[in-house]
A and B are shown apart, each in its own frame.
Chain A
Amino acid sequence: GQQLNQSPQSMFIQEGEDVSMNCTSSSIFNTWLWYKQDPGEGPVLLIALYKAGELTSNGRLTAQFGITRKDSFLNISASIPSDVGIYFCAGPATGGYQKVTFGTGTKLQVIP
């Protein structure tokens, strides 16, 4: 099945630094959803994007729906230790909107 590619796969950053990650697809997406998974828990929605070019913020998090509709970006400003976790992008699968496609995930480690 289709998968979304996320990069980087993992990253170590110093507390206080800004973080950027992205998600790319070979096909057009109409919706991008960004989730965060804390260790030992299920993913939780961070930001939802529904329109090409859309830029949406949630506290220190900002996500963008790429103009080409084949990518999306998530930025975290001034990282803190509780930002540790795995970040996933997701959207409706090509050819079947009832199905959901997830990205491979970006694992973030924050060094205090």
Chain B
Amino acid sequence: EAQVTQNPRYLITVTGKKLTVTCSQNMNHEYMSWYRQDPGLGLRQIYYSMNVEVTDKGDVPEGYKVSRKEKRNFPLILESPSPNQTSLYFCASSDGTGGFAPLHFGNGTRLTVT
């Protein structure tokens, strides 16, 4: 089954403790991206990747890192999480370019930073 898999689904952590949210897709998509969803703000793009070793900032990249060493994986790294990064995070992939092509989303990771 074609899918985007994120782990974990729920994560509670403390300020400053490094964490990684994993994302994997099995559709051989070149484009992958991360979003955060906050009430009243919709989805905002954090980072995106056009292909292996090619990543770039979205609209809200501060406090986040990403890497794309393999085509299927696109982990999101929070080196020093802060409470304002408490949010619902989504990973997505597509077989086209950014905003033109339909995105396939994972089921989300709900992060709470205390």
Task: Spell out A's residues near B (CB within 8 Å).
Answer: 1-4, 6, 9, 30-31, 33, 35, 40-45, 48, 50, 88, 90-93, 96-105
Contact = CB atoms under 8 A, between A and B. Distances in A.
Given A90-B99, A93-B99, 5 more contacts: A45-B103, A50-B100, A90-B43, A98-B31, A100-B58
Counting chain B CB atoms within 10 Å of each CB, which of A4, A40, A43 scores highest? A43
A42 B98 contact: no
Q: Which bracket fits the contact residues of B?
A: 20 to 34
A40 B4 CA distance: 15
Interface string B4-17: 10000000000000
A27 B32 CA distance: 25
Contacts of B35: 102
A41 B99 CA distance: 21
